[in-house]
């Protein structure tokens, strides 16, 4: 079976209420659900409808796959990078909506979430039900935010055009369950071929792998629709061509499989020239204009490089790069190298070196780029927290944090103080955060810690349960809820929490039963 676990979460667009809603259409264990379920309406593709697979069935299939991804050791919820990617993703979704590419039914019921993988390969993939996977290698290999957005817009369009649903209905001999395993296998195979094979193994194997690639027409459609979404969202269209040329260049130099994206999205000269033809005249004829230096993206790429570094040697290289930086290097290069070096030093547990590089970074004049300055400030908070300087970390998070990285940093700093009062403040902060972001597993986990520190075990157990629900691990959630019920039975004054726990137990029990029925 698949061993998977990405360990922290993006909140967003996946309200708990949705996960708890009863499913109108059941997925039969064998054979495809027939048409007539939740049909998608409006804004649909030129390639024909996805007849067999309803939106509801695709959503459930997506959850089955996402559940495995959450358990992948490479899954990573880095608050800073997740937030960065979210800033690209939200405008793309809004643009797809405005352009009528995202029918309300699909909009509401699909997850629309991007899971980050700590993998150095240049890869991104769309899964059923609006889940996307994005490898850190893709972030670190790009030079502008437009390039990342171009890939996300393309993947988004595979989902909105229901390419996955169509792919699945092309072969009615394959049940959604098997197809789900195959899609996951193909996604994992891009990282670890042996693992991918193992997932798919068991009869319907290699021959079917070829069907998991989108067709040439689907690729063309995702390029076309994705381009419209990208430009409407305000990104530079040249990012698309830059990205494709980068991939093509990379594939010429390197054939060891680290450019996995190319295997599922074969690049053809035709696709690149189609793209170029879509650019405004002045850019199309001269080729993509040189990427403008993107300070913020450079920091995000540096962070991705550190977090996906394969070992201490790779981290040491990043530290040396920062140390050897020429004084007259352009600002974006200096900022990226110092940021990467400081974070790499932190990972190497060299606090003194981290502080030296961070101090140099903080002296750069980033006043013209508030978002980049925020990245640097958050890094300062991270270093302070790691050094046990709770006050420094709290200061970096700001007085009234509203964004996720700041909210989580502030809570972590307060938990570090190990006083009941600070734990209570952290709990308040996190409690109001999860109210708006119920699928934020990391926040729930921190809340569990805060409640435990306050001596409120019932609340701690429930928060732990919610963290498991958020990563779709219902058996583990049920386990925590039962422990909480047992504890409450031994006597509690927290009657409100006890009744919430009873209600949640019934809901999670239903989810568990539904999950068992799908097997
Ligand atoms: Zn594609």
Q: Which residue has the tokens 């390969």?
A: 121
d(C-alpha 204, C-alpha 323), whole Å: 53
pLDDT tens-digit profile of 71-95? 888 899 999 999 999 999 999 999 9
Residue 222 alpha carbon to ligand 1 centre in Å: 6
Residue 107 alpha carbon to ligand 1 centre in Å: 20
pLDDT tens-digit profile of 450-473? 999 999 999 999 999 999 999 999
pLDDT tens-digit profile of 147-171? 999 999 999 999 999 988 887 766 6
Strand 131-135 relative to strand 113-117: parallel, antiparallel, unpaired? parallel
d(C-alpha 364, C-alpha 375), whole Å: 13
CA 361, chain centre distance (Å): 28
Residues with Cβ within 8 Å of residue 17, at least 6 apart in sequence: none
pLDDT at 242: 80
Residue 128 alpha carbon to ligand 1 centre in Å: 14
CA angle 179, 128, 100 (to 5 degrees): 140
Residue 159 alpha carbon to ligand 1 centre in Å: 10
| 6: β partners | 75
Is residue 160 within 8 A of residue 225, CB to CB? The reply is yes
Mean pLDDT of 482-497: 90
Lowest mean pLDDT among 56-60, 184-188, 397-401, 459-463: 184-188
Going by the DSSP 8-state scheme, the letter that residue 309 receives in this structure is -
Mean pLDDT of 358-369: 94
pLDDT at 236 over 70: yes
pLDDT tens-digit profile of 179-216? 666 666 666 555 444 444 434 433 333 333 434 567 78
For the entire predicted model, the pTM comes to 0.82
pLDDT tens-digit profile of 93-109? 999 999 999 999 999 99
d(C-alpha 156, C-alpha 101), whole Å: 10
d(C-alpha 127, C-alpha 64), whole Å: 10
pLDDT band for position 438 (50/70/90)?
very high
pLDDT at 95: 98
Kindly list the distances between the CA atom of residue 392 and the CA atoms of 170, 358, 396, in Å, as whole numbers in the listed order: 57, 14, 6
pLDDT at 181: 66
pLDDT at 186: 61
pLDDT band for position 267 (50/70/90)?
low
Residue 519 alpha carbon to ligand 1 centre in Å: 29
Residue 307 alpha carbon to ligand 1 centre in Å: 26
Residue 328 alpha carbon to ligand 1 centre in Å: 41
Percentage of the chain with pLDDT > 90?
Answer: 56
pLDDT band for position 261 (50/70/90)?
low
Residue 154 alpha carbon to ligand 1 centre in Å: 6
């Amino acid at each position: 079976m698949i061993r998977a676990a990405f360990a922290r979460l993006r909140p967003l667009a996946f309200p708990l209420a949705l996960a708890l809603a009863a499913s109108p259409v059941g997925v039969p264990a064998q054979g495809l659900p027939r048409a007539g379920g939740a049909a998608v309406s409006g804004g649909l593709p030129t390639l024909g409808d996805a007849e067999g697979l309803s939106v509801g069935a695709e959503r459930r299939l997506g959850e089955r796959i996402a559940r495995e991804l959450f358990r992948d050791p490479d899954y990573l919820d880095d608050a800073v990078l997740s937030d960065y990617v979210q800033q690209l993703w939200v405008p793309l979704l809004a643009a797809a909506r405005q352009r009528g590419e995202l029918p309300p039914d699909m909009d509401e019921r699909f997850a629309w979430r991007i899971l980050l993988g700590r993998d150095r390969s240049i890869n991104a993939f769309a899964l059923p039900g609006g889940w996307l996977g994005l490898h850190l290698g893709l972030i670190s290999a790009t030079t502008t935010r437009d390039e990342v957005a171009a890939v996300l817009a393309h993947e988004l369009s595979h989902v909105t055009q229901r390419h996955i649903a169509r792919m699945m209905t092309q072969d009615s001999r394959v049940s959604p369950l098997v197809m789900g395993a195959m899609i996951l296998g193909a996604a994992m195979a891009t990282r670890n071929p042996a693992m991918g094979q193992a997932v798919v193994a068991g009869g319907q194997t290699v021959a079917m792998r070829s069907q998991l690639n989108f067709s040439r027409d689907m690729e063309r459609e995702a390029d076309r629709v994705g381009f419209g979404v990208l430009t409407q969202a305000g990104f530079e269209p040249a990012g698309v061509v830059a990205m494709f040329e980068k991939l093509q260049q990379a594939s010429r130099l390197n054939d060891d499989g680290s450019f996995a994206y190319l295997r599922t999205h074969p690049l053809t000269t035709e696709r690149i020239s189609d793209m170029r033809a879509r650019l405004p005249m002045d850019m199309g004829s001269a080729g993509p204009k040189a990427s403008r230096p993107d300070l913020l993206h450079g920091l995000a790429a540096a962070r991705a490089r550190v977090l996906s570094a394969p070992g201490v040697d790779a981290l040491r290289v990043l530290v040396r790069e920062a140390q050897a930086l020429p004084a007259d290097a352009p600002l974006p290069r200096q900022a990226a190298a110092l940021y990467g070096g400081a974070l790499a030093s932190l990972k190497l547990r060299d606090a003194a070196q981290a502080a030296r590089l961070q101090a140099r970074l903080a002296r750069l004049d980033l006043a013209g780029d508030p978002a980049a300055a925020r990245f640097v400030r958050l890094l300062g908070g991270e270093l302070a927290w790691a050094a046990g300087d709770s006050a420094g970390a709290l200061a970096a998070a700001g007085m009234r944090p509203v964004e996720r990285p700041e909210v989580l940093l502030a809570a972590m700093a307060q938990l570090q103080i190990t006083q009941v009062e600070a734990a209570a403040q952290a709990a308040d902060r996190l409690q109001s955060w999860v109210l708006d972001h119920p699928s934020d597993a990391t926040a729930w986990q921190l809340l569990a810690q805060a409640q435990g520190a306050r001596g409120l075990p019932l609340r701690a157990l429930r928060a732990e349960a919610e963290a498991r629900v958020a990563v779709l691990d219902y058996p583990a959630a049920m386990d925590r809820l039962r422990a909480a019920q047992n504890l409450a039975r031994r006597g509690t004054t927290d009657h409100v929490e006890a009744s919430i726990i009873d209600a949640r137990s019934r809901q999670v029990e239903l989810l568990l039963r539904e999950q068992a029925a799908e097997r």
